[in-house]
Amino acid sequence: MNILEVKNLKIWDVSTGEVIITNSSFNLKKGSCLAIVGESGSGKSVTCRSIMRLNKASLRQSGDILFKGENVNNLSEKEMRKKRGRNLCMILQNGMSAFDPSCVIGVHLKETLAEHFNWNKNRTEENMKNAMESVMLKNPIEIMNKYPHQLSGGMLQRIMIALAIVLEPDIIIADEPTTALDTISQFEVVEQFIKLRERMGCSMIFISHDLGVVRKIADEVLVMKDGEIIERGSTQVIFSEPQHEYTKYLVSTRLALSNNFKKIMGGGAIVAES
């Protein structure tokens, strides 16, 4: 069963007339993880922001975006605000831009939860504290009293994941969540996303250019180039039998990087799975 159906999505810039997404259609199955891959500027992020209706004002979109059968393109902004967070939750690539720099983290979390739940202060704090501890954040009360700039990128990503745990959305959209992180933080954040799926059984759209991460977390993959979906399939098939030349290039580049890393570390080469 599909929880999300995107049909004939077109996105264009009214100020320049440039068409950014030409005609995209794809589905997200309930409980599965769909990865969208491609180089910078391929249209991955703008596609996912269109689902949330969060693209900048100069961008227009047409087509159908059906969430549980309801077309979100037809909802008012007020109705859409109720969906964001509670039903459709987006985790951004840069934690610094996701939080208000002028107030401590706890204020942002409490305001977000107050929008969707009628909880008192103690219950809100307790739920958030438990979720933060579950993503390996120590001293959550102390963290909630800090400003975003006082925390690392990896910590801010885990706070966003903790917020998603409390909100229990139907779909989590993660937009390049590991890009701004060091290697160790990347590994930890990916592990948290895997645990999040296991724990909540939610559906996920994972945007990334890191095929190593995609291979680990995704069930299905969409490959985008220049605003078009050029290939789609199960993760296993995309990695073992890519059809499009661009997908072959992405996969071979990933293997070359992995083999180079293994050589540097004194290990053997990695071979493609058949």
Give the chain's mean pLDDT.
89
Please spell the DSSP secondary structure of 52-72, one letter per residue: HT-S-TTEEEEEEEEETTEEG
Q: Report the alpha-carbon distance of residue 15 to residue 114 in Å, rounded.
A: 37
Residue 244 has pLDDT above 80, yes or no: yes
| 221 close to 237: Cβ distance less than 8 angstroms | no
64-100 pLDDT, tens digit per residue, is 999 999 999 999 999 999 899 889 999 887 777 788 8
pLDDT-derived band at 264 (thresholds 50, 70, 90) equals low
For residue 261, pLDDT beyond 70: no
Instruction: Tell how strand 59-67 and strand 2-13 pair up.
Output: antiparallel
Q: Give the model confidence (pLDDT) of 102-135 as tens digits.
A: 999 999 999 999 999 999 999 999 999 999 998 8
Domain boundaries defined on the chain? 2-264
Residues in the chain: 274
Q: Which residue has the tokens 């219950």?
A: 123
* Confidence category of residue 190, pLDDT binned at 50, 70, 90: confident
Q: Is the pLDDT of residue 219 over 90?
A: yes
Query: Which CATH number fits the domain 2-264, given the four candidates 3.30.1370.140, 3.40.50.300, 3.90.25.10, 3.40.50.360?
Result: 3.40.50.300
- Does position 159 have pLDDT exceeding 70, yes or no? yes
Q: What single letter denotes the amino acid at residue 172?
A: I
The confidence score (pLDDT) of residue 176 equals 87
Residue 269, pLDDT > 90, answer no
Q: Is the pTM of this model over 0.85?
A: yes
3-state SS class at 243: coil
**If residue 116 lies in a helix (H) or strand (E), which one and from where to where?**
helix 105-116
Q: Between 265 and 54, name the one with better pLDDT.
A: 54
SS3 86: coil
pLDDT of residue 200: 83
274 falls in which pLDDT band (50, 70, 90)? very low
Task: Say if residues 128 and 144 touch (Cβ distance below 8 Å).
Answer: yes
Helices (H), ranges, 136-244: 140-144, 153-167, 183-200, 211-217, 235-240
Looking at residue 193, its pLDDT comes to 86
